[in-house]
Amino acid sequence: MNPVTIAGFRDHAVAVLTEAGIPIPEVDAELLIGHVVGLSRGEVQARAITGAQLSAHDLRVLTEALERRAAREPLQHITGRAWFRALELAVGPGVFVPRPETEQVTQIAIDALRAVPSAAPIAVDLGTGSGAIAFSIATEVPQSVVYAVEKSPDAFRWTQQNRELTGASNAHLLLGDLADAFHELDGTVDVVASNPPYIPSDAVPRDPEVRLHDPELALYGGDDGLDVIRHVSKTAARLLHPGGVLVLEHGELQAVAIAALLRADGWVAVATHRDLLGRDRATTALKH
């Protein structure tokens, strides 16, 4: 096969990615082509139908990109970009690639913030990584003031870059541990959102993209996965005013343990929320 047309290269890429165990190889093949040629996925499909050819340069770059993806490097590390809600974020080694399920968790935080009767409601994102949650809130609730903390210096470089990219000038960033963050805001915050590390240390993810490329600090939360969540509960209780809302993402089997942990810390109206697949993936609670 001579992969010189877009259609030819796409078929070749689908075969290579299928062999490598990529779950939906057509999507990755078309996104890789689109990234290199500078086209949307729909445009790639259209050019494939009309027999468009690849330049020798694009073919070389694509061949290298395909090899990286076949070695199970995350697509987002190869393109350098991840879509999250309305944002295009820069991502790469050192930072957690934001996931679609977090878009729904972010919606809960945005809805809670929009309901606050204040001209400048305050939100905090604990463990912000790429800034996916923080910058979505900041740009979708532009009258809000958002504070975000990240512990990893490597991840924090991406947070800073994404603040520039998204133009979220109402977001304030801190490099540090969430347990000690933002004492100056104690008792004033309306919404705290967090997608903390919550995988138990011995539950190593199967997908190489996650296991080998997401930072360990972003994934693991100690023996039961709840170590960082315990800190999130304490920090959020300190930051929020009475009636303030905590929005927390977690693993689908952790909802009961997290509800118990939060109630023991004095939270009220603890509620579990399902994702679009019916899994218990988020918990909200009110500061008493």
Ligand X SMILES: C[S@@+](CC[C@H](N)C(=O)[O-])C[C@H]1O[C@@H](n2cnc3c(N)ncnc32)[C@H](O)[C@@H]1O
282 binds ligand X (CB under 6 A): no
Q: Measure the CA–CA gap between 161 and 177, rounded to whole angstroms.
A: 20
Q: Could you say which DSSP state residue 115 is in? A: T
Residue numbers 222-281 binding ligand X by CB under 6 A: 228
Question: Shortest gap between Cβ of 45 and ligand X (angstroms)?
Answer: 29
Q: Supply φ then ψ for residue 223, to 5 degrees.
A: -55, -45
Closest CA to 88 of 136, 34, 153: 136
For ligand X, the binding residue among 94, 121, 127, 225 (CB under 6 A) is 127
For ligand X, the binding residue among 76, 102, 162, 233 (CB under 6 A) is 102
Sole residue written with tokens 């009961």: 256
Of 2-10, 126-134, 165-173, 263-271, which segment contacts ligand X by CB under 6 A? Answer: 126-134
Q: Fill in the per-residue mask, 49 to 88: x = in contact with ligand X (CB under 6 A), - = not in contact.
A: ----------------------------------------
For ligand X, the binding residue among 155, 192, 226, 229 (CB under 6 A) is 155
Question: Shortest gap between Cβ of 201 and ligand X (angstroms)?
Answer: 14
- Burial status of residue 38 (CB atoms within 10 A of its CB: 0-12, 13-18, 19 or more): exposed
| Closer residue to ligand X (CB): 151 or 287 | 151
- In terms of residues, how long is the chain? 288
Which residues are within 8 A (CB) of 115 and not within 5 positions of it... i.e. 6 or more apart?
none
Question: Hey, is 31 helix, strand or coil?
Answer: helix
Which stretches of the chain bind ligand X, using CB under 6 A? 96, 98, 102, 127-130, 132-133, 149-152, 155, 177-178, 195-197, 215, 217-218, 228
